[in-house]
Amino acid sequence: MAHAFRAETGQMSLINANDDALAAINHRPVTFLHRLAERAMLDDDHLARLIETAAAAGPEHYNLSLVEEDENGSPRWVQGLLSENGQVDGHRVLDMIRSGRLWLQIEHLADLAPHLHALIVEAYDELTARVKGFSYRNLYCNLLISGPEARVTPHIDAAEVILWHIRGRKRMWLYDPAKFPVPERTVESIILREQLEDISFPDEWNEKGLALDAEPGMALSFPYLWTHSVENLGELNVSLQTEYHHPRSIRRYGALFASGLARRRLGMDPEAADPGSLAESLRAMVGLAAKALHLNRETERQIPAAFVIDETAEGYVRRFAPDAAPVLSK
Ligand SMILES: [Fe+2]
C-alpha cells in the first residue's frame, strides 16, 4: 500500500509506490513515484545558485559534458569546464544549457547542497524501512541539469543507480546483460577506473533495449551492471541521480576488481565467478582489500578538459588546443 504519512518516523512519505513494486529493486528495472520535487524546490533561481557554488568549488565538484562526433562519425563523450576562474552567472549558464546539448552533473552534494543530500538520505531510509532486504552503502548523490538535446551514450555505472526525476522528460534505454552481454574485461576496466564508463556498443543493439520514459516525479531504478543510454526529449531536464552499493553489488564489484588486477598485473586469465557463488565471495575479499590499498592507482584515468563554455563561442563551446587542455582527475 502507499503511505502518505509514515508512522515510524512521523515524516511525510517521499515515495508513493506499492511495497510489492519496490521489492523488485536490485532485481529488475523499476519505476515508482516520488515527492522529492516538492521539498527540493529546484526552480531556476535555486539551480542558478547551485551552479555558481559548483563553479566556485572547481571542476573536481562537477562534470560538464557533451556528446560530439569523432573523426569516424561515432559519438564521443567529452568533458569541459564551467569557467576558467571559478566565476559564472548561474542564470546565464542555465540559459546555455537550455539552448542545446550540454549536460552538467553537480557532485558532492553532501558538501555543496547538504539540504538535497539530507533529502535523498531520507528517501533511502524510507526504502530501507519499507523494502525487505534493501540496504545501501557508499551513497553518492549528484544533481543533473541537462539541455533539451543532451544525451548520454551507452555505458555501465560501477554502482546501483536510482534516478529521481524532477523536471523535463527523458527516455532511458536499458540493456539486460543476459541478452546484451558486455565482455568481462570491459567491465573490469570500468571498475578499475581505467576508462570512463562508455563501452563500445554494437549498432544493431540500438533501441533494442527496454525504453523507460521519465516524467517529473518519477524514479527509475535498474539492476547492477546493466548497460544504459539516455536521451532528453526536448526540454531542460533536472534530476537527482543517486548511486549506492547493495551487499550483492559490493561482492560483484570486489570480485571484478580482483579478476581485473590478476589479468593485468599477474598475466592470469581468471574465469568469470558466478554471482552469489563462494568463488565470487572469496575473490571479492581479495578485490576489496586491493581496492582499500589503492593497488589500481597507477592505471587510473586522467581526462583532459576539451572545452570551456563561453557565451561568445559558437554553440557556447570554446575548445582548448590539445596541448593547452587542463587535465581533470576524475
Ligand atoms: Fe549511468
> Where exactly does CATH 2.60.120.650 map onto the chain?
5-182+196-245+302-329
CB atoms within 10 A of CB 26: 19
Q: What is the CA radius of gyration of the chain?
A: 20
Confidence check: pLDDT of 254 > 50? yes
3 CA distance to ligand 1 middle (Å): 29
Q: What secondary structure letter does DSSP report for 2? A: -
225 CA distance to ligand 1 middle (Å): 10
Please give the pLDDT value at position 303: 79
Q: Which amino acid is at 28?
A: R
10 CA distance to ligand 1 middle (Å): 34
| Percent of the chain's residues with pLDDT above 70 | 92
Q: What secondary structure letter does DSSP report for 66? A: E
Which of 21-25, 204-208, 254-258, 312-316 shows the lowest per-residue confidence on average (mean pLDDT)? 254-258
CB atoms within 10 A of CB 8: 9
Please give the pLDDT value at position 240: 98
Q: Which amino acid is at 61?
A: H
Query: Domain spanning 5-182+196-245+302-329: which CATH class is it, in words?
Result: mainly beta
Main-chain dihedrals φ then ψ at residue 201, nearest 5 degrees: -125, 115
The H or E element that residue 114 is part of is helix 114-130
Using 50, 70 and 90 to split pLDDT, how confident is the model at 221? Answer: very high
Tens-digit pLDDT profile for residues 46-77:
999 999 999 999 999 999 999 888 888 888 88
Confidence check: pLDDT of 1 > 50? no
Please give the pLDDT value at position 197: 61
162 CA distance to ligand 1 middle (Å): 10
212 CA distance to ligand 1 middle (Å): 14
156 CA distance to ligand 1 middle (Å): 6
Mean per-residue pLDDT for 255-271? 73
228 CA distance to ligand 1 middle (Å): 6
Where do we find the cell 542564470?
A: 91
Among 131, 127, 113, residue whose Cα is nearest residue 49 = 113
Please give the pLDDT value at position 19: 87
Where do we find the cell 563553479?
A: 55
Among 107, 119, 96, residue whose Cα is nearest residue 236 = 96
227 CA distance to ligand 1 middle (Å): 8
197 CA distance to ligand 1 middle (Å): 8
Q: Which burial class, exposed, middle or buried, applies to 114 when counting CB atoms under 10 A from its CB (0-12, 13-18, 19+)?
A: exposed
Residues 6+ apart with CB under 8 A from 67: 75, 76, 77, 78, 101, 150, 151, 152, 153
Using 50, 70 and 90 to split pLDDT, how confident is the model at 295? Answer: low
**Looking at per-residue confidence, does 201 or 141 come out higher?**
141
Tens-digit pLDDT profile for residues 169-209:
999 999 998 898 887 777 777 777 766 666 677 788 888 89
Please give the pLDDT value at position 2: 47
pTM of the model: 0.84
End-to-end CA distance of the chain: 42
152 CA distance to ligand 1 middle (Å): 8
Helix (H/G/I), strand (E/B), else coil: 320? coil
Mean per-residue pLDDT for 303-318? 90
Average pLDDT, the chain: 86
